[in-house]
């Protein structure tokens, strides 16, 4: 899916730079694209995942002063992801769980921003996360 698959009113709720038209994402890699809101109803958070993938691809949210590809820029991208999850209606619990997931597993591919690489297995992603934390 890409940005044109979503209503303008949903896109307007998002923080951070808007993905270009031909950028495609698999959404919330290996987790559900639908989560519960505070009333127990399902809400789609695919758009927040698409924005997050775009920010990782760039190595920045496009709206902060942090140098591209730095840990500070990555933290900002993950925080924007959390805010976007909430903007789409996710409960605080689900937004927190997804945020923690990207903090642990989203640190790979630093040679090109935070290059999005969905084909890697969990153990490889874990290795890159550990490597990024301890070896820079």
CB 110, CB 69: distance < 8 Å: yes
How many independent structural domains does the chain possess? 1
Q: Which pair of structure tokens corresponds to residue 13?
A: 């709720």
- Domain with 95, as residue range(s), is 3-135
- Match 């959390």 to its residue by tokens: 82
Q: Which pair of structure tokens corresponds to residue 130?
A: 């550990």
> What's the pTM?
0.76
What residues in the chain have per-residue pLDDT under 70? 64, 107-136
pLDDT at residue 56, as a whole number: 86
- 21-55 per-position pLDDT tens digit: 888 887 887 788 899 898 999 999 999 999 998 88
CA 132, CA 136: separation in Å to the nearest integer?
5
pLDDT at residue 110, as a whole number: 43
CA 132, CA 126: separation in Å to the nearest integer?
10
pLDDT at residue 65, as a whole number: 72
Concatenated DSSP letters of the chain: --GGGS-HHHHTT--SPPPPTT----SSTTS-SEEE-TTS-EEE-HHHHHHHHHHHHHTS-SSS-SPTTSHHHHHHHHHHHHHHHHHTT--HHHHHHHHHHHHHH----GGGTT---TTS-HHHHHHHHHHHHHH-
CA 79, CA 102: separation in Å to the nearest integer?
10
pLDDT at residue 116, as a whole number: 41
Q: Which of 86, 124, 88 is nearest to 107 (CA)?
A: 124
pLDDT at residue 119, as a whole number: 43
pLDDT at residue 123, as a whole number: 61
């Amino acid at each position: 899916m890409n940005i044109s698959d979503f209503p303008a009113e949903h896109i307007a709720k998002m923080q951070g730079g808007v993905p270009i038209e031909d950028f495609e994402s698999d959404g919330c890699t290996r987790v559900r694209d639908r989560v519960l809101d505070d009333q127990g109803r399902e809400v789609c958070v695919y758009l927040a995942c698409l924005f997050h993938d775009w920010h990782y691809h760039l190595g920045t949210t496009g709206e902060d002063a942090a140098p591209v590809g730095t840990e500070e820029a990555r933290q900002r991208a993950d925080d924007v992801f959390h805010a976007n999850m909430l903007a789409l209606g996710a409960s605080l619990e689900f937004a927190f769980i997804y945020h923690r997931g990207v903090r642990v597993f989203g640190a790979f591919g630093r040679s090109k921003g935070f290059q999005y690489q969905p084909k890697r297995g969990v153990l490889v992603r874990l290795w890159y996360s550990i490597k990024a934390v301890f070896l820079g």
